Chains A and B, each alone.
Chain A
Amino acid sequence: MGLRPTRGRLVGMGMRLNAETSAARLVGRLSRAVGRGGGTTLPGKLLWKVDPGALDALAAKLPAGVAIVSATNGKTTTSAMLARVLGSRYRLAWNNSGANLASGVASTLLSANEADLGLLEVDEFALPEVMQRVRPRVVSLGNLFRDQLDRYGELEHIAERWRAAVARLPPTSTLVVNGDDPLVADLADGRAAALRFGVDDPRLARPALQHAADSKYCIRCGEPYDYAAAYVGHLGDYRCPNCGHGRPALDVVARSIDLQALDASVFDLVTPAGTVRVRLPLPGLYNVYNALAATASALALDASLDEIAAGLGAFTAAFGRFERIEAGDRQILMLLIKNPAGANEAIRTLEEGGVPANLVIALNDRIADGRDVSWIWDVDFEPLLEGVERIVASGERAAELALRFTYAGFPPERLEVIPELRAALDRGLELVPAGGELGLLPTYTAMLELRQIAVSRGLVRPYWEGAS
């Protein structure tokens, strides 16, 4: 190799990549064979350890390139929508298991031999490294909310890392940003290849910013923003009364939105390619934001407006995010909660569609949930507590959760504390009359475990085979 440095090095790398990738694929099969999770990240972890540069080479093999989706909330749903829209146009290498760190991305690219396009949901913190390695065609940045401060640090810190990553993005790559989020919109400031999305329907504005609203102060001068409309958390139509910094002109917009309780959202999807009325079979204004992010990304990947409308119209929820599960003669409605903004929207959705009389709410505090459970005090649980009859508090921090409810005035005699998830689920189902519905609001690892319980009872398919 030393004699023919240039060619020899290339050949050497290729051979090394092949050897590494077959070993890593084998680990994936073994991992599934021994029933250890979905075997989704183990091979990637191995490859990532042996040679992080392999990610560059794997991404470069995809003829249609790579699209990346990141955000605090909605990245799984947004990438699932994109997959639905693009699935007939491209063969996808898509990390639909939620394995969204660099190792999960490596696993996905490893196991996708025939794919044209990489579709990658990427963790906020892992984004800069993954972006630099895979050189994406499209990057969608959906929102920044306070989330797992013990792991991610403060919002400004994440935004700074994103800013540096965006600065290194090739000028031909399209940057998709949420124009309604001041910190995120600013990342596309002055960039030519950018699409900005947002909501334009003041009838749906919240009367006031929520307690946990972030980015309330002008990113340029620190003055509180005036909101002509606040839609989800701090997302909305903002303008600084002092320096004039405000929401940019939008390229992809949702107008005349009709939120149809727990069934669907119908809205005018206004894009540079034209306008179409879309029926998204998912509740919640936050899912309209996810649909806008998916639309802008799909346009940048050459999808037609018809394909987009059809894909969104046929969408089903990503696992654990507003998932309905049949359990004998009862139904379970599962909504993931993982941070104040996401939990507030889940609660708002339940409020609009009718709060189930019986709820199991589960709080774990593992690394993927955030070890710091203080965020539950930033969630506006109060409207939920008004409509509910009984709550089973569960998970490793069940007592903490129960305190949150009792200090909000929920009667202790209607509250049960059952830390063990299986027992809590059984108790919840027991409380629900035949034909009724149990609301299930778990944090991330509790959601995975509850879903595993549902799988073991044959109620749903495992996540690595796709959402049921």
Chain B
Amino acid sequence: MRITVAHLYPDYLNIYADRGNIAVLARRAALRGHSLEVTGVEPGDALEPWAYDLVYVGGGQDREQALIAPDLAARGYGLRRAVDTGTAVLAVCGGYQLLGRGYRGRDGSWMPGAGVFPHETLAGEKRLIGDVLLEADLGGGVMTMVAGFENHAGRTLLDPGATPLGRVVAGHGNDGDSGFEGCRVAAAIGTYLHGPLLPRNPELADWLLGRALEHGGGSGKLEPLGDELEHLAHAVSTGRARSRGGK
């Protein structure tokens, strides 16, 4: 099957190796006989997000994020409709923040977001940096350990009743305090974890691919791959998080 991907602002939001996540999705799709068709979307481009099987939003430096924020916020309706109709979403770091209701700067300024995830982000003083390990709950009884790296000044506060991506085993997470990391709405995942996230978390990569295939009308079932190197990298990253995450 052909899996269509809208990659938002690849020229602006690419600070934490976001193309690694796309490369992983493309190869893992190809190894199962599917193909990934990625469309880059820049500010001002026409977009119907619900027509895509997967939407990817990466992270940028503050300056680049501020440059695209108004464009992203204006796409709120389309992105919410996409999530309602089963489009898979992966939003990392800045993308995760900007898909919430908005970002409150330290000077009190308010940058509205796209309103896909039920959260707000407040600028914090000290950056939360380090290796992270999560116990992620992807719904329907699918649990997986997710290992990554976080580096964010924002404190993301989930609304009461919102579903986090996972419980923090080691590291800071959304706000350094709640013990939770990320957010999930249907097949949309937002997270602070980069590294990039998907190479060393193949279960999560396949979960996203599965949801994207289902959105395209196919079966979400994927043949398992060997993933020997992936698990080795995951184990090293897990060890790092346990020994130095959140410090």
A-B contact pairs, 28 of them (CB 8 A): A149-B16, A150-B129, A154-B15, A154-B63, A156-B63, A211-B19, A217-B63, A372-B129, A373-B149, A373-B195, A374-B17, A374-B195, A374-B196, A377-B19, A399-B233, A400-B199, A400-B200, A400-B236, A402-B229, A402-B233, A403-B230, A403-B233, A407-B20, A407-B24, A407-B199, A412-B229, A417-B229, A417-B232
Using Cβ atoms and an 8 Å threshold, which residues of chain A touch B24?
407
Instruction: Contact check, B149 vs A372: say whether CB atoms are below 8 A apart.
Output: yes
Instruction: Contact check, B61 vs A408: say whether CB atoms are below 8 A apart.
Output: no
Asked if A351 CB lies within 8 Å of chain B CBs, one says no
Instruction: Contact check, A154 vs B131: say whether CB atoms are below 8 A apart.
Output: no
Asked if A404 CB lies within 8 Å of chain B CBs, one says yes
Q: How far is the CB of B212 from chain A (nearest CB, A)?
A: 18
Q: Tell me the chain A residues, 396-429 only, with Cβ under 8 Å from chain B.
A: 396-397, 399-400, 402-404, 406-409, 412, 417
**Alpha-carbon distance between A399 and B27 when the two chains are bound, in angstroms:** 17
Using Cβ atoms and an 8 Å threshold, which residues of chain B touch A372?
16, 129, 149, 151, 194-195
Using Cβ atoms and an 8 Å threshold, which residues of chain B touch A409?
27
Instruction: Contact check, B23 vs A399: say whether CB atoms are below 8 A apart.
Output: no
Using Cβ atoms and an 8 Å threshold, which residues of chain A touch B23?
377, 407-408
Asked if A155 CB lies within 8 Å of chain B CBs, one says yes
Q: Tell me the chain A residues, 347-380 only, with Cβ under 8 Å from chain B.
A: 365, 371-378
Using Cβ atoms and an 8 Å threshold, which residues of chain A touch B129?
150, 372
Closest 4 CB pairs of A and B: A377-B17, A377-B20, A399-B233, A399-B232
Q: How far is the CB of B164 from chain A (nearest CB, A)?
A: 22
- Count of chain A residues with a beta carbon within 8 Å of a chain B beta carbon: 35
**Alpha-carbon distance between A148 and B151 when the two chains are bound, in angstroms:** 11
Instruction: Contact check, B229 vs A154: say whether CB atoms are below 8 A apart.
Output: no
Instruction: Contact check, A374 vs B20: say whether CB atoms are below 8 A apart.
Output: yes
Instruction: Contact check, A377 vs B62: say whether CB atoms are below 8 A apart.
Output: no
Asked if A222 CB lies within 8 Å of chain B CBs, one says yes
Asked if B14 CB lies within 8 Å of chain A CBs, one says yes
Residue of A156, A216, A372, A409 with most chain B CB atoms under a 10 A cut-off: A372
Instruction: Contact check, B27 vs A397: say whether CB atoms are below 8 A apart.
Output: no
Asked if A146 CB lies within 8 Å of chain B CBs, one says yes
Using Cβ atoms and an 8 Å threshold, which residues of chain A touch B14?
211-212, 378
**Alpha-carbon distance between A396 and B230 when the two chains are bound, in angstroms:** 15
Asked if B240 CB lies within 8 Å of chain A CBs, one says yes
Given contacts A377-B199, A403-B230, 16 further A-B contacts (CB under 8 A): A146-B15, A149-B151, A371-B130, A371-B131, A372-B16, A372-B149, A373-B149, A377-B19, A397-B236, A399-B232, A400-B199, A402-B233, A406-B229, A407-B23, A407-B24, A412-B229
**Alpha-carbon distance between A418 and B100 when the two chains are bound, in angstroms:** 42
**Alpha-carbon distance between A377 and B58 when the two chains are bound, in angstroms:** 13
**Alpha-carbon distance between A119 and B61 when the two chains are bound, in angstroms:** 33
